[in-house]
């Protein structure tokens, strides 16, 4: 019977190690920054590894155009690009911790 308690203790240790690694990964993601772009770089957005938009930068070239609809589309495309990159970064980093296991609620 002591063997099963030893295995349980080992599983608990592994879970604690994984939790620490997840906490470290989440902290890294808070500080990670990715850039989404559109229009050949005319619109750039900065997004954290958590998917929060920090900054939107518009080139003078795009601001001087009178085409409001085009500008809106470029901003939207850059946001989607940045958020997509942040999502992939988050999935990649956290999957290293979980060994590729899909653990609901952790990602």
pLDDT at 6: 76
Q: In whole angstroms, give the CA distance from residue 28 to residue 34.
A: 13
Taking the domains of the chain in order of start, what are their residue ranges? Answer: 2-98
**Mean per-residue pLDDT over the chain, rounded:** 84
Query: At 13, is the pLDDT very low, low, confident or very high (cuts 50, 70, 90)?
Result: confident
CATH topology of domain 2-98: Ybab; Chain: A; (3.30.1310)
Q: How many CA atoms, within 13 angstroms, populate the side-chain half-sphere of residue 28? A: 13
pLDDT at 7: 83
- The per-residue pLDDT for range 64-91, each reduced to its tens digit, is 777 888 888 888 999 999 999 999 998 8
């Amino acid at each position: 019977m002591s063997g099963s308690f030893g295995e349980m203790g080992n599983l608990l240790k592994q879970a604690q190690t994984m939790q620490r690694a997840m906490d470290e990964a989440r902290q890294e993601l808070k500080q990670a920054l990715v850039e989404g772009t559109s229009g050949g770089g005319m619109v750039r957005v900065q997004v954290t590894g958590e998917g929060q938009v920090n900054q939107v930068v518009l080139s003078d070239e795009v601001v001087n155009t009178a085409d409001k609809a085009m500008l809106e589309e470029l901003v939207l495309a850059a946001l989607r690009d940045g958020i997509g990159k942040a999502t992939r970064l988050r999935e990649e980093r956290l999957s290293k911790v979980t060994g590729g296991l899909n653990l609901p609620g952790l990602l």
